[in-house]
Chain A
Amino acid sequence: MEVAMEEANDFSRCTFSTTATMDDYFACALNNWEQSVADVGPFSSSADADDFHDLVESIMFADDVDYDPSIGHFSLPQSPSYNSNTSTCTPVAEEDEHTGTATAYNDAKGLRLVHLLEAAAEALGGVHKCPDLARVILIRLRELLGRGDEGTSIERLAGHFTDALQGLLDGGRMSLHDGARHHHYNKMEVLTAFQLLQDMSPITKFGHFTANQAILEATAGDRRIHVVDFEIAEGVQWASLIQALASRPGMSPPHLRITAMIRSGGSRSTQETGRRLAAFAASLGQPFSFSQCRIDANSERFRAAGVKVVQGEALVMNCALHPTTAAARRRTIGSVASFLSGSVDLGARVVTLVEEEDGEGEETEEEQGKGFVGRFMAELGRYSAVWDSLEAEFPTQGQARAVVERVILRPRIAGAIGHAYRAEEEEGGQVESWGEWMVAMGFGRVSISCFNHCQAKLLLGLFKGGYKVEETAMNKLVLGWKTRRLLSASVWKPPLPVHLPVMDSFEDSDFLFD
């Protein structure tokens, strides 16, 4: 809480010759919200629901943003709960009157959007579910936001989140489409946008390269390497591994075999990926073979027995849980858990894990809390950081960013929100961090080498400031934008077989430790 306060103060002290980043007023908004909530009182009793309603009304229908020339900044209308905090949060226009006023206006608007979004999430999935209120708030948001790709960054971001919430409202529960309007972009579009994202942000490459380097180190002397991949997608991760193996100085390349997991219905695209990888490997002169292993359709469990193992090969398992569009739906707890535990049966040498990270450090846990609203705000925070990072790196390529946002990030947002909503519904919770799960299951840590860390730093060095990599644990590197953690890559060693029970007959909830 204190930290958030500090951020709010910093926010007001910042120079606003450029638009404040969304993270700033997001944090400020959160703080503001907390304060106002505190003023209103705890949500537990129904009497306060009315206050909440009033509060929301005041936010929503506060149309008139007053420009006070004497102070030189916009101020939100004074509602009782906003009094103390308005001044700290409303940015003061700086030297240049024109840009100052424009940015001030934008910031105030951004703040309001965030408030509205949180209110909508609260109405939709919070303690007091009130779908009608949510509906009204969303309509209001839509009014404020105008249309699709226009508008400032935060307007676009807010738009996507609004749509995601709308989808939840419309699509009902347990929707197959992750509760959001499902835009079926054609493959070319998706691929191009994906490539754009790869180039504009180091996030994906960070995950790939760190995992690959760990694999290379773990299998340094081996002549046969076998990688079992949880979710191969397009196989992009393996391109650089193939290259690295093919060009190791002083020795002929070892044989690389990749086994990809396939789920029901995914066989064709995985085969295509295999062909592509084989062609790529051939072009580099890297001995390569590809095979597939089906995840059991009914139980969605990985079966170690399904993987063909050859004598004398070094087996590693790769579990890259990058945020992708349909991923949240596919990666049931059971499938991931059974995959990770399968590493024990297979006698894997290392298990590389890449997963999304949450939050800004310790204090966020208490602030955000679990539950749908907490998750919603966490996702809002995360994507505002992503938005910021793209904007900071490529400020002039607004349209390019808009495309990436729309084609790649928007479905992810919808997926994440839908996932959070369903998880809330199911009351089974979710595994927040697979790394922690692995610790609990007795996996050992494999330290990240100096080379790996150095490589990550150099990768980030290709971008402008703002990205950071930190070694939060001996075996884990975390990539973040400013203060917000985005993605982590960690390396693990499976425990000895004797410690783990057979995973076959377990339910999803058995994999959770709370």
Chain B
Amino acid sequence: MFPSKKATTMNSSSHERPPSVCVQGDSGLVLTTDPKPRLRWTVELHDRFVDAVTQLGGPDKATPKTIMRVMGVKGLTLYHLKSHLQKFRLGKQPHKDPNDHNSFRNSTVDLHRNAASSSMMGRNMNENMHMMQMEVQRRLHEQLEVQKLLQMRIEAHGKYMQSILDRACKALAAESMVNSGGSFKGPAMATDSQLGAPIKELSSSMSFPSLQDLHLYGSGDQLDHHNLDHSFNFSPNSSAESIILGKSKRHSPCINVNVNGRSPLLGWGGALGPSSVDQEPSSKCDQLLHMALPVIEAGIEVNPMANVYETKPMLSLDGTLTAADEKKYDGSSSSALKHDRPSPQRRAPLGMEMISPMMAMPQARNLSYG
């Protein structure tokens, strides 16, 4: 808000619109009635100026003295003409033909005499610099474009993947409900808190020897075959394991992973960087993983896998940022280091740059992905 305000005040001062009336003097010139009278270049006056300049052979050839003589307007001083001529020349600059460039250069000598105009040589260099700058800017702009589009595409990709998982999960839930008489309705509605505790339990239990035994038991070749040959079913085997692991909830095949509209497994390829192990794992992805992994393996893998996704990328599809996310964003905004591995808020620099435009327009994305 502030900058725009400033602009308006600046505008008003530069436009010089005094409340006072403009007086037309005898000579036909319009002067303002300010304490400091300034000449107003009306359209008529300007036309006459242009005529005179053209008569004299263009803005390069014309000098304020000669223009004054040709125009023959009383009250017009050299000073007025000098400044107006300079502006005129500058104004004509971008529209100049490449052909005219030579004539432009030839008149350098003449124009050196004119103290008001800046050096033509300098202007040429400035032009080149300007063009280079424009080229660089154009490239940057292009890259930003690509970045933006890439980001949207990655999101679409992730969202679609999520929808696949959701559908499969629902299909599985339907199946299992049929199989086991709908006893999984409870767990199916599990919220974060319900699973949060068992997850912690699991992570702390990783060092228990019983789990290791289980793992060995589970990954024996024969057993692998048997257990995995069927589709995900809730055999007595799995319940035995879950008791050992103390997590009966893990049977729930389909937990609504989009409670907050966040997709646990969505996001940047790289932004799902290794976050620090000590942070709270997101239970959303744990739910998903619980669904997906056979019970035997899940015992070992669930928590570490959760870590992969635990610092949810800011760019969840509905654009909602929780307080936790925002905090992480702020904390990491300064470190755009890709290689800052130990940092818990690791983000790829690209991800960082992209976050700002996305943060700015969460609503728009809500609409498109609604």
Contact = CB atoms under 8 A, between A and B. Distances in A.
Given A196-B265, A198-B269, A202-B269, A240 B153 contact: yes
Contacts of B89: none
Given A243-B152, A396-B274, 12 more contacts: A183-B224, A186-B231, A191-B164, A192-B265, A202-B270, A205-B154, A236-B157, A242-B156, A397-B308, A399-B304, A454-B142, A455-B146
B304 A400 contact: yes
B291 to A, nearest CB: 6
A509 interface: no
Nearest to A198: B161
B301 A394 contact: no
A451 B146 contact: yes
B156 A399 contact: no
Contacts of B147: 458
A247 interface: yes
B294 A189 contact: yes
A284 B368 contact: yes
A208 B159 CA distance: 15
Contact of B307 (A205, A396, A454, A461): A396
B224 to A, nearest CB: 6
A469 to B, nearest CB: 13
Closest 8 CB pairs of A and B: A239-B160, A462-B270, A243-B156, A192-B292, A148-B219, A240-B153, A399-B301, A186-B232
Interface of B: 142-143, 146-147, 149-150, 152-157, 159-161, 163-165, 167-169, 172, 215-216, 219-221, 224-225, 228-232, 253, 265, 267-274, 277, 288-289, 291-294, 297, 300-301, 304-305, 307-309, 338-339, 341, 348-351, 368-370
A187 interface: yes
A195 B304 contact: no
Contacts of A186: 172, 228, 230-232, 294
A181 interface: yes
Interface residues on chain A, size class:
35 or more
Interface in A213-271: 234-236, 239-240, 242-244, 246-247
A240 B154 contact: yes
Nearest to A186: B232
B368 A454 contact: no
A299 B163 CA distance: 35
Contact of B351 (A191, A243, A462): A462
Interface of A is mostly: helix
B141 to A, nearest CB: 12
B265 A458 contact: no
Contacts of B270: 202, 393, 461-464
Given A240-B156, A459-B150, A464-B339, A396 B277 contact: yes
Contacts of A458: 143, 146-147, 150, 350
B165 A195 contact: yes
Interface in A168-204: 181, 183-189, 191-196, 198-202
Contacts of A184: 228-231
11 contacts: A183-B225, A183-B229, A191-B168, A196-B308, A202-B270, A205-B154, A244-B152, A396-B274, A458-B146, A461-B270, A465-B339
Contact of A279 (B163, B273, B291, B339): B163
A400 B232 contact: no
B152 to A, nearest CB: 6
Interface in A377-432: 393-400, 402-403, 406
B308 A394 contact: yes
B369 A283 contact: yes
A38 B291 CA distance: 53
A124 B291 CA distance: 40
Given A212-B153, A396-B277, A276 B219 contact: no
A16 interface: no
Nearest to B232: A186
Contacts of A148: 219, 221, 224
Contacts of B368: 246-247, 284-285
B370 A283 contact: yes
Contacts of B157: 198, 205, 208, 236, 239-240
B267 A199 contact: yes
Nearest to B274: A396
A345 interface: no
A280 interface: yes
A129 interface: no
A183 B265 contact: no
B231 A187 contact: yes
A53 interface: no
Interface string A432-467: 000000000000000000110011001101111100
Given A205-B157, A234-B164, A400-B304, A188 B149 contact: no
B185 to A, nearest CB: 19
A209 B153 contact: yes
A471 interface: no
Contact of B165 (A185, A191, A247): A191
B324 to A, nearest CB: 20
Contact of A149 (B160, B215, B348): B215
Contacts of B172: 186-188
A283 B160 CA distance: 11
A140 interface: no
Contacts of B309: 199
Contacts of B304: 396-400
Contacts of A247: 152, 368
A455 B167 CA distance: 30
A276 B163 contact: yes
Contacts of A329: none
A147 interface: yes
A462 B209 CA distance: 38
B161 A236 contact: yes
Nearest to A464: B338
Given A147-B220, A247-B368, A394-B308, A463 B301 contact: no
Contact of B293 (A183, A192, A394): A192
B153 A280 contact: no
A283 B341 CA distance: 37
B47 to A, nearest CB: 39
B103 to A, nearest CB: 37
Given A403-B305, A454-B143, A462-B269, A276 B370 contact: no
Contacts of B154: 205, 240, 459
B311 to A, nearest CB: 13
Contacts of A202: 269-270
Contacts of B350: 458, 461-462
A506 B156 CA distance: 41
